[in-house]
Structure 1
Amino acid sequence: MTRTPAPTPTGRLFGTPDGVDLVLTRTFRASVEDVWASVTEPERTARWYGRWEGEAGAGRLIKVQLAFEEGAPWVDMHIDACEAPIRLALSATDAFGNWHLELLLAVNDDGTTELGFVHHLVNADGVGDIGPGWEYYLDNLVASRDGTPKPEFDDYYPAQKAYFEEQAAAL
């Protein structure tokens, strides 16, 4: 059996006045509206991240089931901003910390849609654990849209940990 090459990490860390941003991008040959649906519609988010319940809209609280985490736990997420089809900002607090996430969509000159995923961090602590997870989830999104096999988390972690830790050390 031929094994596919390990995925190459793409995330970058940027210092900000408020901390550190972990930024990952993916490009899709699809309309911005279609990509927006992939990151906002419960039946589509279930394919790559987890389903969610509740009433969507800025200022609202939803429940998200993390389908690819051990035990498939439910997490309360606050919708901080929802500007269809270009910006979604979410926040949550769980046993692992505070999560401030932003999804930014833009149409490129060639008609493709770029998804910019930003995890706003207070500092770079733990980014060696966080970065590979987001790489996995976004590649899971790509696979769910393309109809290709889903990635294996073991191909991302701990293999990509050093990549993110080196960026953190350089900040």
Structure 2
Amino acid sequence: MSLIPTGRLFRTGAGSDLVLRRTFRASAEDVWASVSESERTARWFGPWEGVAAPGRTIKVQMAYEEGAPWCEMRVDACEPPHRLALSMADGHGNWRMELLLRETDGVTELEFVHHLDTEEGVGEVGAGWEYYLDMLVTAREGGARPDFGDYYPAMKPYFEKQRENDERRTPGEY
């Protein structure tokens, strides 16, 4: 299967943002539930445990990674149904992410932003987020779950090439 990557790398005053978007024929509240309720995140990313509130830490299982590891993730902001900001640290570095939802006429656009500390490894990271966001689409619409082998290493050159671009964006710009 040949998939077309959609993510874009933007420079900001604070570093770089990797931005990916998906569109859903659904209300923002419904899409919000898919990215914030444990039983629904389990369908495309993994379940989570704990009290999900700003400043609190939850445990998230990365159900589709080798060994299905659990990790701690901090809820940095939670503004239903429009903004969820999360962060975590692991052996691969710091992960600061935002999910921004905007609904117009019953169609919701999800903008996923990974605030990068470094652009090193963006080929792997970009392919991974394309995969997970397509998993979200599949979880919502039904159908066969995508195969990560269709994303990586095929998408790596696309994301590595993004490092050559010098597109700018203001942090928080939607």
- What TM-score do you get using the length of structure 1 for normalisation? 0.95
- Code of the aligned partner of 1:33: E
The 5 A counterparts of 1:94-113 are: 94-108=90-104, 110-113=105-108
Residue in 1 aligned with 2:46?
50
Pick aligned residue for 1:87 from 83, 89, 95: 83
**Cα distance in 1 between the residues matched to 2:165 and 2:100:** 26
Residues 1:139 and 2:134 are matched in the alignment: yes
Residue in 1 aligned with 2:172?
none
Q: 1:6, CA displacement in angstroms?
A: 1.5
**Matched residues, percent identical?**
64
Partners of 2:94 and 2:117 within 8 A in 1: no
- Secondary structure in structure 1 of the residue aligned to 2:77: strand
- Code of the aligned partner of 1:21: D
Report the count of equivalent residues.
Answer: 166
Residue in 2 aligned with 1:62?
58
Pick aligned residue for 1:10 from 3, 6, 9: 6
- Secondary structure in structure 2 of the residue aligned to 1:170: coil
**Cα distance in 1 between the residues matched to 2:62 and 2:121:** 20
Residues 1:129 and 2:129 are matched in the alignment: no
Residues 1:73 and 2:74 are matched in the alignment: no
**Cα distance in 2 between the residues matched to 1:43 and 1:6:** 30
Residue in 1 aligned with 2:36?
40
- What TM-score do you get using the length of structure 2 for normalisation? 0.93
Q: 1:124, CA displacement in angstroms?
A: 1.2
Partners of 2:59 and 2:71 within 8 A in 1: yes
Q: 1:169, CA displacement in angstroms?
A: 2.4
CA RMSD in angstroms comes to 0.8
Residues 1:20 and 2:28 are matched in the alignment: no
- Secondary structure in structure 1 of the residue aligned to 2:164: helix
- Code of the aligned partner of 1:11: G
User: Gapped runs of 5+ residues in structure 1?
Assistant: none
Pick aligned residue for 1:150 from 142, 145, 149: 145
**Cα distance in 1 between the residues matched to 2:70 and 2:76:** 19
User: Gapped runs of 5+ residues in structure 2?
Assistant: 167-174
Q: 1:38, CA displacement in angstroms?
A: 0.1
